[in-house]
Structure 1
């Protein structure tokens, strides 16, 4: 059944481009939205497009320091950049570019707009496809991220509605920026499932990162082994998410849907298929319907197999959010539109063929390690959360 949903989108957000050869390529946004349109998943009523707005200075300052915002504005306008590395900018990962303050404020405003629509009850679920910038910290950028749209939206929900927020992040990279900004806040639960920081940027996100002060026990991390694949990843979701929802009782779920854990992604090693993204968003929506009146604020995130993976994964996520079945055959008009520009042969189906996804060696060992990691987290963190009952 179709669920009242909003896709937050405007081509202007594609100006968030560091340089033509940078892996954080905004073309993936246009590819994804055009595939949704081609499959008939966008309409003018229940599954509609809503334009973003600019984040205000006050909304940025709720989660970023004045010094940092002023520095970003100065670099954006062409001011001197000698001190940019002090703010995590001007690096190969996160270069300075003209107009960066304005477009990153628009990206932050897209996720804020999604939060407004969901919390007002105008829609149950909203997808800020350009958002998900989870590495930005209070006083510095990092890992392709300048402003934290995620933290800005969480802070807005807390300030305007007093809502408890469950932040779920299953990007292949640890959601370190969001975790850090709310590390001492017991009204914001951050839960990140990611490739272990032993092998992947940003090198954080271990089980013992539990929060501090009043927020101790409200930061949860599941560092996954490389080559985890779908089954182990989904088993952890299915075990942990219902427990967290029951204990924490959030008023809304904010989910970061980075799709860089896919087997074709060039930057990571988790080897998921499109099944992970379709089944995870289904579980999130089911739990939201049970525990928080269906409220889900969703964003994009990482994803560097720009042509082969991102459009399909995010189309499946949009289908799950909006309650629409996603056809498996990709329309010829979409393939004809993009194949001439694509550097790879575009897939003809939305979902990966399970038969083409051969299991890696050591699968049992990897799954056993992931189970031990999950149980270590449950033993350390979950008794600290109000209302948690391990059932032991």
Structure 2
């Protein structure tokens, strides 16, 4: 009797991870580097913040599951690429074998495992085995139904949302705070009234993929369920978080989801080499905190989180993603120095001096001369993007 009760114990949060997730590897020089998973897991373990009983291995998604968001022809092409059977000409038309998404051995299985990790997270939460679940190996939000894009072969979030709908009949809110617009997920559900996609990202004027304008609001029955917040280059923490707090509260009230799926790219940081935002570690404390609060307020705690972008794998990603997990698992938020043993282990391998504290050093960058102008432009953009909600509420009152 006691044993059965113990088996039914609900964990507050589970961490989806296994070393075979590291097989998603384009090359030694490619900016998408899964070494960041190793660094994050090691940092959490040095903090005694990742008990082994909370770690759940990722599985490989089946073809049937991948077909929820991808075409059979495309899956077959990825399999051919995995086995060295795809010509460059054919591959290029599917976004495979390009500079962004080069072919690597076992590409299909490695990609399907990242999807399977997110589906594992979904099942843990929706079956009541955990309130929250994190798969840092996921978050590949640029993948399309029949084409790879932006380092992303299969789109685990799109598959997971379709899976949530089919298996659990869930109404899903997808939140994307990667510096790059979550285009693949948005377009997959652009006309679906039961999926709301929200993306806060650097404006596409300067950054891939160039989409995510405020007038991308959904289509047909899905009109009003797509929200984009393209923030200006050089945006700092205060403006970013003001948009995030305000938008999420209003959207949650408007959409009333059953579950939250959040994509947590860590590339809005000042040190990220591929973007132009001026975030600090403060946003990576606050983003998960707010998502956590909203999940409990509106969704009975149901919160699934995935990784995403993040290209300063030494100084930014391990700290940011560790803070995400600590928030999900109710581990006390750390301040002060990072564990000395972690710094000693990795500094010899790091090509840059590691930041030795959880918070960023003061005066990390020169003051932005256009700060007030940037903040004002971002505020105006937010008001325009939320116009649908505010206009609807005004008419109803």
Tell me, yes or no, if structure 1 residue 38 matches structure 2 residue 46.
Answer: yes
CA displacement 1:91-148 (0-9 Å, x = unmatched):
1001111100000000000001001101111111111011000000011000000001
- Taking only aligned residues, the RMSD between alpha carbons, in angstroms, comes to 1.6
Q: Using the alignment, how far apart are the partners of 1:288 and 1:359 within structure 2?
A: 35
- Give 3-state SS (helix, strand or coil) of 1:83's partner: helix
Q: Using the alignment, how far apart are the partners of 1:31 and 1:113 within structure 2?
A: 22
CA displacement 1:30-72 (0-9 Å, x = unmatched):
0011101111111145xx1110111011110010011111111
Match of 1:49 among 51, 55, 58: 55
- Report deviation, 1:359: 3.2
- Report deviation, 1:80: 2.3
Tell me, yes or no, if structure 1 residue 70 matches structure 2 residue 73.
Answer: no
In the alignment, what sits opposite 1:335? 343
- Give 3-state SS (helix, strand or coil) of 2:376's partner: helix
Tell me, yes or no, if structure 1 residue 7 matches structure 2 residue 9.
Answer: no
Give yes or no for contact 1:191–1:219 (8 Å, CA) kept in 2.
yes
Tell me, yes or no, if structure 1 residue 211 matches structure 2 residue 199.
Answer: no
CA displacement 1:122-178 (0-9 Å, x = unmatched):
111111011000000011000000001111111111011111100000100000000
Matches within 5 A, 1:285-300: 285-300=292-307
Q: Using the alignment, how far apart are the partners of 2:370 and 2:161 within structure 1?
A: 39
Q: Using the alignment, how far apart are the partners of 2:213 and 2:180 within structure 1?
A: 12
Matches within 5 A, 1:120-131: 120-131=127-138
Runs of 4+ deviating beyond 4 Å? 388-392
In the alignment, what sits opposite 2:7? none
Distance 1:8 1:390, change over 3 A: farther
Distance 1:116 1:104, change over 3 A: same
Q: Using the alignment, how far apart are the partners of 1:35 and 1:390 within structure 2?
A: 51
- Report deviation, 1:326: 3.1
Tell me, yes or no, if structure 1 residue 282 matches structure 2 residue 289.
Answer: yes
Q: Using the alignment, how far apart are the partners of 1:249 and 1:182 within structure 2?
A: 17
Give yes or no for contact 2:173–2:195 (8 Å, CA) kept in 1.
yes
Q: Using the alignment, how far apart are the partners of 1:275 and 1:75 within structure 2?
A: 41
Tell me, yes or no, if structure 1 residue 347 matches structure 2 residue 355.
Answer: yes
TM-score by length of 1: 0.96
Distance 1:16 1:44, change over 3 A: closer
Q: Using the alignment, how far apart are the partners of 1:99 and 1:228 within structure 2?
A: 39
Matches within 5 A, 1:241-256: 241-256=248-263
Q: Using the alignment, how far apart are the partners of 1:97 and 1:144 within structure 2?
A: 12
Q: Using the alignment, how far apart are the partners of 1:117 and 1:3 within structure 2?
A: 9
Give yes or no for contact 1:216–1:384 (8 Å, CA) kept in 2.
no
Give yes or no for contact 2:77–2:86 (8 Å, CA) kept in 1.
no
In the alignment, what sits opposite 2:317? 310
Tell me, yes or no, if structure 1 residue 93 matches structure 2 residue 100.
Answer: yes
- Report deviation, 1:323: 1.0
In the alignment, what sits opposite 2:191? 184
Give yes or no for contact 2:44–2:50 (8 Å, CA) kept in 1.
yes
In the alignment, what sits opposite 1:368? 376
- Report deviation, 1:384: 8.2
Match of 1:139 among 146, 150, 155: 146
In the alignment, what sits opposite 1:164? 171
Tell me, yes or no, if structure 1 residue 22 matches structure 2 residue 30.
Answer: yes
Q: Using the alignment, how far apart are the partners of 1:323 and 1:141 within structure 2?
A: 36
CA displacement 1:289-314 (0-9 Å, x = unmatched):
10001111001100000101000000
Q: Using the alignment, how far apart are the partners of 1:227 and 1:3 within structure 2?
A: 40
Distance 1:285 1:389, change over 3 A: farther
Give yes or no for contact 2:338–2:357 (8 Å, CA) kept in 1.
yes
